[in-house]
Amino acid sequence: MKANYGYTDGSGDYYITIETEGCLKCTEHDCVDACPQDVFAIIEDDYDDLVAAVVEEHRRSLAYVCSECKPASDPPPLPCVEACPQNAISHSW
């Protein structure tokens, strides 16, 4: 499943997409520790699979929560994207 967490508001689209097929093959779950803002958690989803998800508390404020990983110039690779061995995480902005 492509799980998109985030929102669209007047200023743009802010979604983190987690390709959960990747999570099923993943044993490390490194995204959880890699993120300085504790954006990810491993949950048991509706189909009883253990997958990564964006925690409820940050879903409506991703543009702000992630801002420090996204400096205005020369943005380095995102820690969460880098950490995922399955390349399952992507950002829409």
Partner 1 sequence: MITAGIDVGSKTIKVVILKDGRVTGRGMKAAGLEQAESATVCLRQAAAEAGIKESDIEQIVSTGAGRKAVSQANSQITEVGADAVGTVHVLPEARTVIDVGAEEGRGIKVSAEGKVVDFAVNEKCAAGAGSFAESMSRALEMTLEEFGQISLKSTRSIPMNAQCTVFAESEVVSLLHAETSKEDISRAVHDAIASRVASMVRRVGIEQKVALIGGVAYNPGFVNSLSRSLETEFVIPDDREYIGALGAALVAVERSKGNK
Partner 2 sequence: MTENKQEFWRWSEYNWRDENKDWREGNIVTAGIDVGSVSSQAVICVDGELYAFNNVRTGSNSPDSARRALEGALKDTGMTRDDINFVVGTGYGRVNVPFADKAVTEIACHARGANFMAGNEVRTILDMGGQDCKAIHCDEKGKVTNFKMNDKCAAGTGRGMEVLADLLEVPVTEIGEMSFQVDEEPPPVSSTCVVFAKSESMALLKDGWPKSKVLAAYCAAMAQRVASLLESVGMQEKFFITGGIAKNRGVVERIEKILGVKAIQTKFDSQIAGALGAALFAKTLYEKRQAKGVA
**Is 68 an interacting residue with respect to partner 1 (CB under 8 A)?**
yes
Tell me the β-bridge partners of 41.
Answer: 53
The letter for the amino acid at 83 is A
Rounded CA gap, 90 and 48, in Å? 23
Q: Given the rule CB under 6 A, which of 21-29, 41-49, 77-85 is the region that contacts ligand SF4?
A: 77-85
Query: Could you tell me if residue 57 is left (phi over 0), alpha (psi between -120 and 50 degrees) or otherwise beta?
Result: alpha
Report the nearest approach of partner 1 to the CB of residue 39 (Å).
14
**Is 4 an interacting residue with respect to partner 2 (CB under 8 A)?**
yes
Out of 39, 51, 84, 88, the residue judged to bind ligand SF4 by CB under 6 A: 39
